[in-house]
Chain A
Amino acid sequence: MYSHSQLLEEFYTTADKRKVKIETKKHGFSYLDELSLLGELRYSEWKNGVFKYNIAGLKAGVFESLIEKHLSGEINLCVYFSPHKNNIFCFNLDSFTDDRKSLVSAARFIADTLIRLHAEPLVLKSGHGYHFWCRLEKPRDNDEIIAFLQNVLDVAVFRAAADKNDVESLQCILYPRHNADDISIRLFGTHHSVSGKFISVVTEIDTEDTTLGEEDSWAYFEDYLKNKTIPDELFNYCCGGAKMLAEAVK
C-alpha cells in the first residue's frame, strides 16, 4: 500500500517540479517573505479572500515538501505540465453561466468519448465543473497529446450541440497546453479553498453528481493509478480513433 504522497508523486511524475502555484488563505508580508525563500515569487493573485502564489525556480526538495503541505490541507498545490512530454493529461470543463444541464451533458460526452476510445478518465469535481484526468504508461510528446485532446473535445462538443445544449456557455481548458500562458491545475487531494471540503472523485456525472468520500476517493485514485494507466500501444489506438471520430463530425 502506498502513502498518499507516494501516490501523488507517482501520478504526477512528469509535472514541472520547478514551478508551482500555491492556493491558500495564508497571506501577509511575512508570509510572502517565507515563500520567497522557496524560489522566485513571481506574482500573486487575490480573489475573495483566497490567495494564489506563483513560484518558479523551486529549490531542491521544495516540491516534495509542498506535497506534504497539500496533503495536510495547509495549501492546495497547483502544478504545471512539462512543456515537452507528459504522461498525464486533463480536460478542465466549466461553464460561464448557470446552465447546469449543458455542463453536465458536455461532461458526460467527454467521459463517454474517452471511454469509447479505451481511455477511461478519473473524474473529479472542480467547483461547478469537472476535471477529467488520464495517465499514460510512458511520456508522450505534447503535440500528440494535444491533438488527441482537441479531437476528443471536438467530438464531445459536436455531440453536446447535437443534443441541443448551449456549448457556447462552456469553457474547456486542455492540459498540456501549447500556449505560452501560465495556467496551472490543482493536484488530486485538494480541499475547497473556501469550504475546506475534500474535492472528491465523481463516479456518476449528473445534475446531482454521485461522489465518493475522502477515503474512498484515495482508494479509487490508487486503483486508477495501478490498473487504468493507458498502455503505450493502446494510446496509439486512442489517438487514431479520436482523429477518425473528429474527422467524421467536421
Chain B
Amino acid sequence: MDALNKKSVLIMLDDIVNDFSSNLSSLGVEYNPKSDLVTERNYISIFFKDNGDLSQIGLKAFGETKPDKDGIDFVNSLYDKGFAVVLCTSRDIRLCYEETKEWLDKNKVKYTHLFTATAPAGLCIDMDIPFMVYNLPEKGEKRINLVGFKEENGKKVPTEIGVYKTYEETEKCIVTASF
C-alpha cells in the first residue's frame, strides 16, 4: 500500500454529514437504516414513484436534509490532516448530482472524491482504502461503525474495528492507525 492510500478513508455521507434517516422518516418513507444499500436505494425510488414524482428525489430525499455539524467537522478534520477523503453514497447520483454537490458546497464539506456504490466495501478493496466509516443511528443515537480490511485466504475482507458513539473516538482510531 503506498503512502497515498495509507492515508485515505471512505465515509458514507448519509447519516454522517446529514440527518438522512430522520428526513426520510419525516417524508413518510418506510426506511430502515440497517437495510442493505440496494434496498435503501429501491425504497427511495419506489416511494417517489408511488407518490408521484421521481424528479423530486434529489431535492426531497437529499437536498432538504439538515446538516450534522459533528459529522461535517469529523470529515473536514480528516481532510485537513491530509487524508484522501472519499465520500460515498448509495443514492443514484445520476438523479441528484446537482442537489448533492450544492448541499456539500453550501455546508462546506471538504472531500477529495465523490463516489456512488451500493457495496462500498468492494470499492475500498479495489481502491486499497484501509478504512470505511458509516453511521447506523438507533433511536436517535449515533452508532459509528469503523471497518478495516484484512487478508483472508488470499482475498481482502472487511473486518469491524469498532462501533463508536462519537466522531472524536472514531477519528482518533483512524489517525492512530495511519501514522
Q: Which residues of A contact B (CB under 8 A)?
A: 27-30, 32, 41-49, 51, 54, 179-183
Contacts and interface: CB of A to CB of B under 8 A. Distances in A.
A46 B116 contact: yes
Given A30-B4, A44-B115, 11 more contacts: A29-B5, A29-B84, A32-B113, A43-B114, A46-B116, A48-B119, A48-B122, A179-B55, A180-B98, A181-B95, A182-B97
Contacts, number: 56
B123 to A, nearest CB: 4
B122 A46 contact: yes
A27 B118 contact: no
B155 interface: no
Nearest to B129: A29
A43 B118 contact: no
B98 A46 contact: no
B93 A29 contact: no
Interface of B: 4-5, 8, 55, 84, 93-95, 97-98, 100-101, 113-119, 122-123, 126-128
Given A27-B127, A29-B8, A42 B122 contact: no
A35 B55 CA distance: 30
Interface secondary structure of B, over-half rule: mixed
A48 B122 CA distance: 7
Question: Which label, helix, strand, loop or mixed, suits the secondary structure of the A interface?
Answer: mixed
13 contacts: A29-B8, A42-B114, A43-B97, A43-B100, A46-B115, A46-B119, A46-B122, A48-B122, A51-B126, A179-B55, A180-B55, A182-B93, A182-B97
Contacts of B101: 42
Contacts of A29: 4-5, 8, 84, 127
B5 A181 contact: no
B155 to A, nearest CB: 13
Contacts of B118: 47
Nearest to B93: A43
A32 to B, nearest CB: 6
Nearest to B8: A29
A32 B113 CA distance: 9
Contact of A43 (B116, B122, B123, B127): B116
Given A27-B127, A28-B127, A29-B84, A46 B117 contact: yes
List the 5 closest pairs (A to B, CB-CB), nearest first: A182-B94, A46-B117, A46-B123, A43-B114, A44-B115
Given A29-B5, A41-B113, A179-B55, A46 B126 contact: yes
A43 B126 contact: no
Nearest to B118: A47
A146 B116 CA distance: 29
A47 B118 CA distance: 8
Contacts of A180: 55, 98
A150 to B, nearest CB: 16
Contacts of B97: 42-43, 54, 182
A94 to B, nearest CB: 15
A41 B4 CA distance: 19
Contact of A44 (B55, B84, B113): B113
A49 B128 CA distance: 13
B122 A45 contact: no
Interface centre among A27, A30, A179, A182 (most CB of B within 10 A): A182
Contacts of A44: 113-116
A32 B85 CA distance: 13
A42 B100 CA distance: 11
A175 B32 CA distance: 35
